[in-house]
C-alpha cells in the first residue's frame, strides 16, 4: 500500500523503509526513486521471500535502494530491537 501511495501521490517523503514487502509491490518499485530500504527476515513468509530477486531487479535503477535480510521472521517476533536498530542505522 505504501509503495502504491508513493508512486501515485505527491509526497514530502525522502526515505521509505519497506518491511516484509510482498511480491505484489514489484511493479511499483521501478517508479520509486527515493532512498529505500527493503528489509525482510530470513524466516519471512513465502510471499516476501520468493520475490526477493525480483524486487532488487525492479529497483536496479534506484541507486538509493538497499535490500537487507536479517535473522527474523515476518513479524520480527522477539526481535523488536533488531528491527528498530536496523531501520535507525539505515535512516542515519
Alpha helix stretches (DSSP H) within 9-92: 26-29, 46-49, 52-58, 80-91
Q: How far is CA 25 from CA 4, 30, 59, 80, 88, in A?
A: 8, 10, 11, 24, 23
pTM of this structure: 0.94
Please report the pLDDT score of residue 1 as a whole number.
93
* Per-run averaged pLDDT (10 residues), the chain, 92 residues: 95 97 94 97 98 97 97 98 98 96
Other CB atoms within a 10 A radius of the CB of residue 80 amount to 10
Q: Are 75 and 43 in contact (CB under 8 A)?
A: no
Please report the pLDDT score of residue 69 as a whole number.
98
Please report the pLDDT score of residue 59 as a whole number.
96
CA gap 7, 9 in Å, rounded = 6
Please report the pLDDT score of residue 25 as a whole number.
92
Amino acid at each position: 500500500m505504501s509503495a502504491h501511495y508513493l508512486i501515485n501521490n505527491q509526497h514530502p517523503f525522502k526515505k521509505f523503509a519497506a518491511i516484509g514487502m510482498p511480491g505484489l509491490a514489484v511493479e511499483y518499485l521501478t517508479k520509486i526513486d527515493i532512498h529505500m530500504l527493503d528489509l525482510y527476515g530470513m524466516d519471512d513468509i513465502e510471499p516476501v521471500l520468493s520475490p526477493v530477486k525480483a524486487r532488487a531487479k525492479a529497483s536496479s535503477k534506484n541507486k538509493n535502494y538497499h535490500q537487507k535480510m536479517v535473522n527474523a521472521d515476518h513479524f520480527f517476533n522477539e526481535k523488536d530491537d533488531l528491527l528498530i536498530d536496523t531501520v535507525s542505522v539505515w535512516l542515519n
